Amino acid sequence: MEEVTVNLGTGRASVGAVLDFAWTAGDFTATEAMASTSLTRSTAIDAIDTLVSVDILRELPNARAAGSYRSGRPARRFAVSPDLGVVVGVDAGDMHLAVTIADPLEATLVHHRIDLDPTHSPDQRRAEVLARLQQALKEAGVTQDAILAICVGVAAPVNRDGISPPHPDGFWERTNPHLAEALGGWAPIVEIKNDALLAAVAEGSDPRGAAIGCRDYVALLAGERFGGGVVVDGHLLHGAHGGVGEGIVFDHIIGVGSAFGLSYALHDRVREAVDGGEIARDSVVGRLADADRADPRSILALAASGDADAELVTSRVGATLARIVGVLGSMYDPATVIVCGAVAESIEPVLTAARGILPTQLHLPAPELVASALGAEVVSLGAVATARRAARERTVPRLAERRLSRAM
């Protein structure tokens, strides 16, 4: 999307500085804004008054009116206006769809998550995304023109225009069915991003994230398919086609052999051990081999409780994960690799096995290997965080410019 240069007049720098401060300040006074922005008092007050005049900031009741002030002249207090609009975060995975409507500050208004049919055509998936968006907006009590920014995470590489390259089996075209075009008129800013990249955003920005304060890390989505969101020197890596961290490389790694994630790897190792006579078919773990797809949480829970068969399986999956992390460590030299997604909630037995093998998989110091605390919603959290950043840095300043121009 084309960048727009925002011009808030001769006081643009000071207005922008105050607005940047206001996003994270909560309630604040002119003195606090002045201290944070290094503006003079008169400049800070002028900037605040400008933002109040165009309804970007609101003036709050003073301390005396609020009943908490005792003597002297009460300071004026301000906050970002609560009715600027909403942001939308979407996690459009291969087999699920999550839609979040949130305010541009911190509150979640609506969040829905449903399963998707992976056999749906691109047209069916696109229609489902649009329908669920409409439904969520209606439930939040807002209209489409209130949207400040939309960010959608998809299970595909995505270039800077929101377009995914062709896939030999059509997978990327199905998981990103021209969503940038379909959503282009929905909001001032629409961003389509790779889901693992958004997981990396969440891990580095959410208070519970495993990468807070870390400048070099990989967020490894590992449940359904492997894909990495890579941060080096504090910068998200993207690539010409959005393919940094794409999991197809693991098809070619001996001992991994597939981009399918840990959920599949656990079931495959159960089947191999049963077929090889290492696990009895009528045992608790062995009976899982005949399922179309075993629940990975049941295998992991058994391993955590000390079941020897489950420990055998998790040790072998741990060896696979160690090879994957070894490749990531050699390519990107991260300090930390974070295993993300729903599987992360119970993945510790696999991580324990992987940590013992990992130092042998690369010459560099092995990265710390940890489980995400953000669960199945990690991509949704990253999408909302990205939409909020776009709203704060781009949409709201443009909105202020338009309102100020009309007022002049």
Question: Tens of pLDDT along 205-253?
Answer: 999 999 999 999 999 998 888 889 999 999 999 999 999 988 777 776 7
For the chain, list the domains and their CATH numbers: 12-81 (1.10.10.10), 86-207+378-393 (3.30.420.40), 217-372 (3.30.420.40)
| The pLDDT of residue 295 | 81
| The pLDDT of residue 245 | 87
Half-sphere exposure of 218 (CA within 13 A, CB side): 27
* The token pair that represents 343 in the structure block: 């599987």
CA separation for the pair 64, 74 (Å, rounded):
6
CA separation for the pair 172, 158 (Å, rounded):
9
CA 319 from centroid of its chain's CA atoms: 27
* Residue 395: band (very low, low, confident or very high) from pLDDT cuts 50, 70, 90: very high
63 pLDDT higher than 60: no
- The residue-averaged pLDDT of 13-20 equals 88
CA separation for the pair 228, 215 (Å, rounded):
15
Q: Global pTM?
A: 0.90
Condensed to tens digits (0 to 9), the pLDDT of residues 190-204 reads 999 999 999 999 999
- The residue-averaged pLDDT of 149-159 equals 96
Nearest C-alpha neighbor of 210 from the set 374, 381, 366, 332: 374
| The pLDDT of residue 407 | 66
Q: Residue written as tokens 């069915």? A: 177
Average pLDDT of the chain? 90
Where is pLDDT greater, at 87 or 67?
87
* Residue 291: band (very low, low, confident or very high) from pLDDT cuts 50, 70, 90: confident
